A and B are shown apart, each in its own frame.
Chain A
């Protein structure tokens, strides 16, 4: 019960948006979910574009990073620390960050509750079909309750793998493979979710893939050899120069929004309180 109170407003918000998309815009419930997902992702675009750019930036340093990895092959901890130090020294802004990822989190949970209630409430409250493209009879039912759900699950696995391909920032091969195989494991969990939630997931994955394709096209990958020697002075992010990282700023200026970088070093509550 404890968990519910902070989530209820979110659930209601999700419900309102869905109701609006369904009632006012006139989409079916399933398409409303798709639309809601697209809205969420559109809001997140500035974050993800940033992320993709810095990921491409990161790829230019791959050779040096591989070297560090090789050097500290035996000590993972040390390897990580060295890598992080390398990032900092070169003002690299590693692509992955937890915040944009977590931003999707509440939407997911809110949708979960909203969809769960769908199946409890009388159908009269929700005029309109719950089906999707004729192969999912009801988006509020468990995904596996109909053969169409299995199709959706297959699409989910494929889309999840594809989006991993585009978004995972890790250079480590084995880690990449693990992430690629993750959806195969996760599909068993997700199979118990309402089909609408899987629909959300598929949509958001496809969005990721599309976004990856577009940004990759707009921002061609810089040939590694070209920048290798200048890399120590490459600006932290190349959003201004549209990914043509071949011309780094001379003095690696501190990015304006580096504000977020300062607080971590705050002295506040830095020591003691050593109760356990």
Chain B
């Protein structure tokens, strides 16, 4: 149930700020999709942590690639 909150938050982001920035993510499920998957699979708390970690990885020095929640 709480996962819904997380998913809603991601959508809120997508529709507002996400729309402002024309970047596409370097990972395959994009960071926002990853966040949704993570929250759905691992629950709000761990999902958010995983998503946060993914965001940190999504920096100019990493290589990106296929990186689903596992």
Contact = CB atoms under 8 A, between A and B. Distances in A.
B34 to A, nearest CB: 10
Contact of A101 (B21, B56, B63, B64): B21
Contacts of A85: 65-66
B66 A81 contact: yes
A131 B56 CA distance: 38
Contacts of A73: none
Interface in B25-70: 25-28, 31, 40-43, 46, 50, 53-67, 70
Interface residues of B, number: 36
A189 B60 CA distance: 30
Q: Which size bracket describes the interface of A in this complex?
A: 35 or more
A168 interface: yes
Interface stretch (A27-35, A144-152, A258-266): A258-266
A94 B65 CA distance: 9
B15 to A, nearest CB: 9
A263 B56 CA distance: 10
A257 B61 CA distance: 6
Interface string A76-88: 0000110011011
Contacts of B19: 182, 185-186
Given A84-B64, A100-B60, 18 more contacts: A47-B59, A81-B66, A87-B26, A88-B65, A96-B26, A97-B62, A97-B64, A98-B25, A99-B55, A99-B59, A101-B21, A167-B23, A169-B24, A257-B61, A260-B56, A264-B62, A270-B70, A276-B3
